[in-house]
Chain A
Amino acid sequence: MSRYIMVIDTKRCVGCMDCVVACKTENHVPEGFTRDWITETVHGRFPTTNLEIRTERCNHCANPPCVHCCPTGASHVHARGGVVLVTPEKCIGCKACLAACPYDARFVHPKGYADKCTFCIHRVENGLDPACVSVCPTRCMHFGDADDPQSGVSRLLAARPHHPLLPEAGTQPRIYYLT
């Protein structure tokens, strides 16, 4: 069994949006929509402020509410790596998954079906990294198998403090931000 996760180093991310452009190009994401995006948060009071730049996308949750609420099985967990995917031919466009996602990671594709990040499973199955990871100029993004203790992502999580997004929502997200 493999369990794909993404680890993003917020100390290295500069918010250049190369990942956003790479995703749009690789996956032919229609104009006006995006599968990943950049968020900046500044905490604290000057001069002791803390800036965190994050590249965000579907968290491929281990407890995915979008899959649980899907009435047709279009949203499903892929056997390889536990990646959450959508089968367009099964999706009726009811938008329950959009409402169920606490990360607002999904959108309705102009063709009518729900769309989102796939961790570029078509590339991963061919031994490549997701497009966003492969183009990152600061190498702040890491992709791999969390079940393999020797993988780069496992070693990073063991070595550095990290946090997922909205763990309190109970979805067990699988994108971790190194702080």
Chain B
Amino acid sequence: MTEFTLFRHTPGIDPTLHIWGWEIPVYLFLGGLVAGLMILAGARLLIMRPHERQAMVCCTIGPLAGLALLSLGMLALFLDLSHKLYVWRLYLIFEPTSPMSWGSWILLLVYPALLANALTHLPETIPALAKRAPMLVTISDYILARPRLVVAIGLANITLGIALGIYTGILLGTLGARPLWSSAVLGPLFLFSGLSTAAALLHGILVFTTPDAERPEFADFLLSLLARWSQARPLDTRIAPTLAQADNSFLTIELALLGLLLIGHLSSTAVHQQAAWLLLTGPYAAVFWIGVIGLGILLPLFLQHLELQHRIRHTLAPSLLVLTGGLVLRFVLVNAGQASHWAAMLN
């Protein structure tokens, strides 16, 4: 028997769960999503043929959404800082042992790469914007006239996307004081979760904007306004099955990586085993099994399988489930990770 008494009673320190609130899971989710968008956009840019240029959902809408989502994520990250006025200090130094330092420099490179990818085909996707700002056409023509530059932009997006996606996992994985996070699997797990959410977002955009889709009246009205303003042609939906297929592959890999994470912990030290049980049967089990595994991975896998078999039509449901599952995964892992602790060995 061991009795453990701690005379601290300091709300600033205890419970330790309060180190990071909602801001960090939201940032990790959006960071992963943007990483996935970059990889898909970069890959699409590399393999696109001239006659396919209507399939702009990956190459223009993806990077544009990425820019907006990354800015939202950065805002969440900024809100989490408790010494906000000193944020510029991040860019006075590079600390090679700090994943957060790597991340801050990677984020600085991500913006121009996303912007370059978006600008490559922007005039074709949103003609009205090109008419108002002819410079966009000049930039697009300049890039498209140089195939090597297009390849460089595509490769930069893929490389930075992988770095960003893995970094969001490594950020937690290097904090060895929290046993649940202490795993190299977190990097690839967050990368593939990011890829699955990105494919789901693009698939969702395609399904939602299809002319014959069933939508609420206000959404129809807003879309018609947007189409009139942008003078854009409807998005090419031929890529929808490819995105659903890719999403299913990413979800399968994500499921396997989650299994590896748990197996790794269960075959490790007592504190790591305790950390794994937090998810398997502990206070986070209900959200983990229902929110992440059931609704976030297995159900969309099944629905998208039926869509690909042409048994049901493509709907928004799998996309919404995958996106929600990705967000819940970050919340569960960040909160359960903070609840797992080496101090369990002291008592």
Point out residues on A near B: beta carbons under 8 Å.
15, 17, 20, 32-34, 37-45, 65, 68-74, 88-96, 98-104, 106-108, 111-113, 165-166, 168-170
Is B13 in contact with A33, judged by CB distance below 8 angstroms? yes
Q: Which of A38, A44, A65, A92 contacts B175 (CB 8 A)?
A: A65
Point out residues on B near A: beta carbons under 8 Å.
1-8, 10-14, 16, 19-20, 80-84, 86-87, 89-90, 92-93, 95, 97-101, 103-104, 171, 174-178, 269, 338, 341-343, 345-347
- With a 10 A CB-CB cut-off, give which of B12, B81, B269, B347 has the most chain A CB atoms: B12
Is B84 in contact with A72, judged by CB distance below 8 angstroms? no
B89: chain A residues at CB < 8 Å are 72, 74, 90-92
Chain A interface main SS type: loop
19 sample A-B contacts, Cβ–Cβ < 8 Å, listed by A number: A32-B11, A34-B13, A37-B7, A39-B346, A41-B347, A43-B1, A65-B175, A91-B83, A93-B81, A94-B80, A95-B20, A96-B171, A100-B177, A107-B10, A107-B13, A166-B345, A169-B176, A169-B177, A170-B176
Is B12 in contact with A32, judged by CB distance below 8 angstroms? yes
> Given A41-B346, A95-B80, are A89 and B11 neighbors across the interface (CB < 8 Å)?
no
A96 to chain B, nearest CB (A): 6
Chain A residue nearest in CB terms to B15: A104
A44: chain B residues at CB < 8 Å are 1
Q: How far is it, in angstroms, between the C-alpha of A113 and the C-alpha of B86 when the chains are bound? A: 10
Q: How far is it, in angstroms, between the C-alpha of A65 and the C-alpha of B100 when the chains are bound? A: 13
A91: chain B residues at CB < 8 Å are 83, 86, 89
Q: Which of B3, B6, B100, B345 contacts A96 (CB 8 A)?
A: B100
> Given A73-B93, A165-B346, are A108 and B98 neighbors across the interface (CB < 8 Å)?
no
B178: chain A residues at CB < 8 Å are 99
Q: How far is it, in angstroms, between the C-alpha of A96 and the C-alpha of B269 when the chains are bound? A: 23
A93 to chain B, nearest CB (A): 3
- With a 10 A CB-CB cut-off, give which of A41, A44, A72, A100 has the most chain B CB atoms: A72
Is A70 in contact with B3, judged by CB distance below 8 angstroms? no
Is B100 in contact with A69, judged by CB distance below 8 angstroms? yes
B14: chain A residues at CB < 8 Å are 104
A162 to chain B, nearest CB (A): 16
